């Protein structure tokens, strides 16, 4: 493998096990990544030693998944490496497998999903052991299963999602029979747990490769329609003023955002979900549909409530920015609704939309974006009140004026904020006190 060396601790673990008489190899993702020329930290080792033997040989071990044959071995520098006993599957259900220890490396490689993931490399002897020709496939740019694709995908439907992710990440063409088996298996992926489905999408969004490749395959394979109906409806949904549809625009924008900002990539991906009309909610405003549908996607994936709120509250604003030529009052109202704290994220998202539209004609242009960004930044920084808490009059002041706290307090403060958003010079205690008294007197029951 072109002069590749494994990190010192990996070689130390392999040498220690082999000195004790147990054949040991590097396998899986790290070998694949190294073959593709990508650095990987995740070195997984496969050995003939049983977990009990591994524990006996090393001083510092952590039982990670003893049932599955995995022991963690702590290297001197404190890094944990997974050492897994050779295994073979004895029973599979489409969701998980019952495994048994195996004597031979080849058994272990044969249970791996794709040929590119079934290459073993010996970190000391520096030889590749590749019975399924995964290295050749990687070189030729082909993804195929180890063994019969129909059987291997039915054993574990997560492999359908993994295939699309790897094809995207390494720019592989999915081999014909594997592709046919994959599209045939798509209707069964619903048996997977929502968490595993979400993790797959999150790996695509957090990956170094442009996510549009794997996500384009989600659409092409039918997986998008099986799992993400809200997004599937944006395929072919015309974006007004643009040559293309919402889905392809969203994919371009996702690619343009950094992998280190998954929240932004999520919001960019989901930006169009509010746009298509669906039976029953034609009446709803696209803004509300965007919020509700993006929240529905994330909820189905069992995302945390914090994450659902964070992403779904960005989504509707991404597709529907305020008019860059609107009045200051309009933009202040807009900021008050969207929340000042969301502005930096939204500017990143719109900026990606601008660049996406520069790649392919669309309604955004850089001049409009620059105007909007400058105006919103200035208003957000101006210190002018955008929230009830920033008014020159508070609930405490109302109590001091002799009113008793109740639901009317919130209402009157919002009434005052509304005026101040329109005309910030009204944010003076005397004026707000007078207005508040007038408003409250008119609504309070006589005593
Ligand atoms: P990544 O870490 O980017 O998800 P990976 O290939 O390292 O990619 P892991 O889930 O870390 O994936 O698994 C390590 C290895 O275990 C894989 O390379 C593959 O050989 C095997 N493997 C993982 N999941 C499956 C599966 N569902 N079916 C068969 N083999 C699998
Ligand atoms: Mg891995």
**How do beta strands 24-27 and 97-101 pair?**
unpaired
| Mean pLDDT of the region 267-294 | 90
Give the number of whichever ligand sits closest to the CA of residue 132: 1
Distance CA 56, CA 50 (A): 10
pLDDT at residue 113 greater than cutoff 90: yes
Give the mutation target among 27, 28, 143 for probing the ligand 1 site: most ligand atoms within 8 A of CB: 28
pLDDT at residue 361 greater than cutoff 90: no
How high is the pLDDT of residue 2?
60
Structure tokens at 12: 């130390």
User: Which residue has the CA at smallest separation from atom 28 of ligand 1?
Assistant: 113
Give the mutation target among 117, 178, 214 for probing the ligand 1 site: most ligand atoms within 8 A of CB: 117
pLDDT at residue 398 greater than cutoff 80: yes
Please tell me the distance between residue 29's alpha carbon and the centre of ligand 2 in angstroms.
5
How high is the pLDDT of residue 94?
85
Q: Is the distance from the beta carbon of residue 113 to the nearest atom of ligand 1 less than 6 Å? A: yes
Ligand 1 atom nearest 112 alpha carbon: 30
Please tell me the distance between residue 52's alpha carbon and the centre of ligand 1 in angstroms.
24
Higher pLDDT, 215 or 39: 215
pLDDT at residue 415 greater than cutoff 90: yes
User: Which residue has the CA at smallest separation from atom 3 of ligand 1?
Assistant: 29
Please tell me the distance between residue 257's alpha carbon and the centre of ligand 1 in angstroms.
26
Q: Is the distance from the beta carbon of residue 159 to the nearest atom of ligand 1 less than 6 Å? A: yes
How high is the pLDDT of residue 10?
95
Q: Is the distance from the beta carbon of residue 115 to the nearest atom of ligand 1 less than 6 Å? A: no
Q: Is the distance from the beta carbon of residue 158 to the nearest atom of ligand 1 less than 6 Å? A: yes
| Mean pLDDT of the region 77-104 | 90
Structure tokens at 30: 């790290």
Lowest mean pLDDT among 145-149, 301-305, 362-366, 388-392: 362-366
How high is the pLDDT of residue 360?
81
Distance CA 348, CA 268 (A): 10
Return the ∠ at Cα 220 (arms to 214 and 224), rounded to 5°: 75
The DSSP secondary-structure symbol of 356 reads H
Q: Is the distance from the beta carbon of residue 156 to the nearest atom of ligand 1 less than 6 Å? A: yes
How high is the pLDDT of residue 446?
61
The CB density around residue 327, as the number of other CB atoms within 10 Å, is 10
Q: Is the distance from the beta carbon of residue 29 to the nearest atom of ligand 1 less than 6 Å? A: yes
| Mean pLDDT of the region 32-45 | 90
| Mean pLDDT of the region 220-245 | 93
User: Which residue has the CA at smallest separation from atom 21 of ligand 1?
Assistant: 112
pLDDT at residue 447 greater than cutoff 80: no
| Mean pLDDT of the region 258-281 | 94
| Mean pLDDT of the region 317-340 | 94
Q: Is the distance from the beta carbon of residue 207 to the nearest atom of ligand 1 less than 6 Å? A: no
Give the mutation target among 42, 97, 112, 211 for probing the ligand 1 site: most ligand atoms within 8 A of CB: 112
CA torsion angle 414 419 422 427 (round to 10): -100
Give the number of whichever ligand sits closest to the CA of residue 203: 1
Ligand 1 atom nearest 156 alpha carbon: 27
Task: Decide: 168 and 132 in contact? Cβ < 8 Å.
Answer: no
Q: Is the distance from the beta carbon of residue 213 to the nearest atom of ligand 1 less than 6 Å? A: no
pLDDT bin (cut points 50, 70, 90) of residue 217 is very high
Q: Is the distance from the beta carbon of residue 165 to the nearest atom of ligand 1 less than 6 Å? A: no
Task: Decide: 57 and 16 in contact? Cβ < 8 Å.
Answer: yes
Ligand 1 atom nearest 28 alpha carbon: 18
pLDDT at residue 177 greater than cutoff 90: yes
Percentage of the chain lying above the pLDDT 70 cut: 99
């Amino acid at each position: 493998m072109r002069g590749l060396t494994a990190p010192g601790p990996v070689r130390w673990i392999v040498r220690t096990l082999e000195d004790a008489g147990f054949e040991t190899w590097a396998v899986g993702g790290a070998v694949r990544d190294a073959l593709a020329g990508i650095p990987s930290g995740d070195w997984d080792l496969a050995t003939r030693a049983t977990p009990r033997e591994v524990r006996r040989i090393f001083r510092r071990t952590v039982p990670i998944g003893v049932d599955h044959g995995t022991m963690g071995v702590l290297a001197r520098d404190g890094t944990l490496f997974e050492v897994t006993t050779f295994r073979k599957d004895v029973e599979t259900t489409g969701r998980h497998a019952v495994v048994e220890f195996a004597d031979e490396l080849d058994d272990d490689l044969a249970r791996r999903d794709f040929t590119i993931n079934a290459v073993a490399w010996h970190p000391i002897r520096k030889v590749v052991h590749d019975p399924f020709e995964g290295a050749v496939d990687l070189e030729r740019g082909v993804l195929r299963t180890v063994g019969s694709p129909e059987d291997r995908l039915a054993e574990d439907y997560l492999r359908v999602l993994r295939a699309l992710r790897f094809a995207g990440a390494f720019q592989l063409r999915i081999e014909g029979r594997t592709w046919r088996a994959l599209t045939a298996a798509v209707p069964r992926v619903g048996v997977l747990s929502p968490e595993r489905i979400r993790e797959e999408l999150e790996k695509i969004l957090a990956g170094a490769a442009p996510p549009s490749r794997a996500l384009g395959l989600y659409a092409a394979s039918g997986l998008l329609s099986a799992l993400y109906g809200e997004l599937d409806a944006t395929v072919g949904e015309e974006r007004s003023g643009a040559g293309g549809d919402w889905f392809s625009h969203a994919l371009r924008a996702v690619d343009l955002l950094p992998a280190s900002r998954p929240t932004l990539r999520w919001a960019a991906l989901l930006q169009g979900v509010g746009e298509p009309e669906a039976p029953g909610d034609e009446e709803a405003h696209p803004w509300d549909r965007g919020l509700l549908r993006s929240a529905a996607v994330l909820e189905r994936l069992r995302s945390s409530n914090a994450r659902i709120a964070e992403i779904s509250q960005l989504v509707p604003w991404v597709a529907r920015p305020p008019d860059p030529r609107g009045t200051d009052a309009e933009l202040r109202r807009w900021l008050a609704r969207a929340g000042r704290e969301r502005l930096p994220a939204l500017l990143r998202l719109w900026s990606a939309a601008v660049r996406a539209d520069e790649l392919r004609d669309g309604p955004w242009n850089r001049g409009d974006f620059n105007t909007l960004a400058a105006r919103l930044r200035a208003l957000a920084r101006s210190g002018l009140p955008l929230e009830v808490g920033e008014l020159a009059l508070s609930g405490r002041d109302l109590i001091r004026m002799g009113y008793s706290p109740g639901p009317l307090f919130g209402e009157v403060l919002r009434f005052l904020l509304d005026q101040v958003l329109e005309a910030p010079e009204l944010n003076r205690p005397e004026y707000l006190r007078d207005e508040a008294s007038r408003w409250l007197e008119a609504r309070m029951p006589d005593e």
